[in-house]
Amino acid sequence: MLVADRLGETATFARHDIALLQTLAGHLAVALRSAWLLDRQLHDARHDALTGLPDLVGLSELAAPLLTTGVPPAVLVLTLDRAAEVNAVLGHRSGDEMLQLVARRLELALPGALVGRLGGEEFAAALAPRDGVPALQDALAAAARVEHVLDAPVQLSSASVSTTARLGVALAEPGDDLGDALRRADTARTSSDGTGAVVYTTSMDEGRAERVELLSDLRRALDTDQLMLHYQPKLDLAFGLVTGVEALVRWDHPRLGRLSPDRFVPLAESTGLVEPFTHHLLGVALRQLRAWQDGGVDVSVAVNLSARNVANPALPDLVAAALAQAGVPATRLTLELTESTVMGDHARAVPVLERLAAIGVTLSLDDFGTGYSSLSYLQRLPVRELKIDRSFVRGLEATASAEDSAVAAALIRSTTALKDALGLRIVAEGVEDADVLERVRELGCDVVQGYHVARPAAADQLDTSTTRLLTAGDAAAR
């Protein structure tokens, strides 16, 4: 002020004016820098550092004005499939790069929308209502644009990866905060099969209530022995004998009757209940194994694991204790895991798998062919068995198209070609007839499992005339 007031009276600055100006400029710079820092801190507190998009807090603040105006906005939630697999196979840097590129594509696909990252591979957008366009119609068009931009492979520095997303859409309701609307969109997302956005309906929350009830029934089922295991033989083609069985859970629900695992395993997997669930079934399977051994039947038993089991560092000790309690050798236990089980939390899973292998348990990779795993990647895992997914084996059936049949044969042949080098045993799953059995034998598979050999059945239904038997030497050694 002082300097400015004097500007009209004098053409030059005296020495002390310059000093004053410098001091003022200094203060101004400090003030600007603190304001910038404060701004930056406020920005950082509300934005995701990786993609620069607002996080949930930031998005909620930005969307607040939309929620208080006349027409509530539509919101969209999306999760990327397979981001975890990209992390595991190509490394975290590639995973991060993919998220950054996807964030840019989302911004391009949704001009004018508020786009944010909720965490992990989960993104969200709030769409401001547009005059004359019904909010739902607008949201579905936006979702279609998102799917379209995600259709093209994402070019990372190390590789090109394709990604798909699951999308859920919901309309905000009067009085909602953004979190309420996002929760509904997320409920809708969980019913998406990846082939199009799903719009939230209130019946989905009823479905949720049903699931909560089934979950508490399942908790009770563990204590009251409603869960049982069926066993499906694995036929070793070189021996012509059943050398193993896979344990598959069944639930005799008091009100709903016999439930198949697809109805309740994913439910258990979505909570910590899967831990006691798996340990309960492991105990049942090992006691059955002991009973077979006592009867002279020499089969190994395969138990299915879930991602949470494999991420638990205590798993090897729990398995060792269960083996000791049942009095059966670790070499007779196989643990089956899917690619996504291993990929989910790769860094934690690998040491657990290594310790399991070290105690003598066989690890088997289920559903092989459906995910990203390359054989060279598998080489780094202590896996000894690969189960070719049923969807490929089905390609060998007489009714399959020429294309499916060529793909199936190529996948199986390229896998079995490397089995000796990688020390792997190859199992064909879902073999339903004799012709397919012959085809997989020709293609180099070692073991077959499927309805043609036997359907899963209770332990006392196992045809022991087809199984390997303990030799006198084995019996003496025990």
Among 48, 366, 385, 446, binds Ca ion (CB under 5 A): 366
Give the residues across from 114 on adjacent strands.
126
Smallest gap, in angstroms, from Cβ of residue 219 to ligand C2E? 16
By CB under 6 A, tell whether 430 contacts ligand C2E. yes
Phi, psi values for residue 163, rounded to 5°? -140, 145
CB burial class (10 A; 0-12, 13-18, 19+) of residue 254?
exposed
Residue 66 near residue 175 (C-beta atoms within 8 A): no
Helix (H, G, I), strand (E, B) or coil at 198: strand
Distance CA 80, CA 87 (A): 12
Smallest gap, in angstroms, from Cβ of residue 253 to ligand C2E? 15
Residue 391 near residue 370 (C-beta atoms within 8 A): yes
When the beta carbons of 161 and 303 are compared against ligand C2E, the nearer one is 303
By CB under 5 A, tell whether 336 contacts Ca ion. yes
The listed partner (ligand C2E, Ca ion, none) that binds 261, CB under 5 to 8 Å by sort, is ligand C2E
Buried b (16+ CB within 10 A) or exposed e, 448-472: bbbebbbebeebeebeeeebbebee
Residue 325 near residue 357 (C-beta atoms within 8 A): no
Q: In sequence order, what are the residues at sequence separation of 6 or more whose Cβ sits closer than 8 angstroms to the Cβ of residue 402?
A: none
- Nearest residue relative to ligand C2E (C-beta): 450
| Stretch 284-323: interaction string toward ligand C2E, x if CB under 6 A | --------------------x-x-----------------
When the beta carbons of 366 and 385 are compared against ligand C2E, the nearer one is 366
The listed partner (ligand C2E, Ca ion, none) that binds 232, CB under 5 to 8 Å by sort, is ligand C2E
Size of the site for ligand C2E (CB under 6 A): 19
Residue from 252, 236, 254, 253 nearest 244 by CA: 236
Interface segment toward ligand C2E; rule CB under 6 A; list 19-27, 55-63, 247-255, 470-478: 247-255
Distance CA 202, CA 126 (A): 20
CB burial class (10 A; 0-12, 13-18, 19+) of residue 30?
exposed
Interface segment toward ligand C2E; rule CB under 6 A; list 109-117, 136-144, 208-216, 427-435: 427-435
By CB under 6 A, tell whether 467 contacts ligand C2E. no
When the beta carbons of 116 and 456 are compared against Ca ion, the nearer one is 456
Among 76, 109, 248, 326, binds ligand C2E (CB under 6 A): 248
When the beta carbons of 107 and 433 are compared against ligand C2E, the nearer one is 433
Interface segment toward ligand C2E; rule CB under 6 A; list 149-157, 158-166, 255-263, 347-355: 255-263
Distance CA 433, CA 233 (A): 15
The listed partner (Ca ion, ligand C2E, none) that binds 281, CB under 5 to 8 Å by sort, is ligand C2E
Residue from 45, 166, 50, 61 nearest 117 by CA: 50
Smallest gap, in angstroms, from Cβ of residue 176 to ligand C2E? 37
CB burial class (10 A; 0-12, 13-18, 19+) of residue 303?
buried
Among 122, 456, 459, 462, binds ligand C2E (CB under 6 A): 456
Phi, psi values for residue 461, rounded to 5°? -90, -5
At 68, which amino acid appears? T
Distance CA 223, CA 373 (A): 38
* Token code pair at residue 385: 């068995």
By CB under 6 A, tell whether 281 contacts ligand C2E. yes
By CB under 5 A, tell whether 121 contacts Ca ion. no
Smallest gap, in angstroms, from Cβ of residue 429 to ligand C2E? 6
Distance CA 464, CA 288 (A): 14
When the beta carbons of 127 and 388 are compared against Ca ion, the nearer one is 388
Distance CA 357, CA 335 (A): 10
| Stretch 164-203: interaction string toward Ca ion, x if CB under 5 A | ----------------------------------------
Interaction residues for Ca ion, span 286-315 (CB under 5 A): 304
Smallest gap, in angstroms, from Cβ of residue 383 to Ca ion? 13
When the beta carbons of 142 and 353 are compared against ligand C2E, the nearer one is 353
Among 17, 275, 432, 474, binds ligand C2E (CB under 6 A): 432
Smallest gap, in angstroms, from Cβ of residue 144 to ligand C2E? 32
Per CB under 5 A, residues contacting Ca ion are 304, 336, 366
Contact set with ligand C2E (CB under 6 A):
232, 247-249, 260-262, 265, 281, 304, 306, 366, 390, 430-432, 450-451, 456
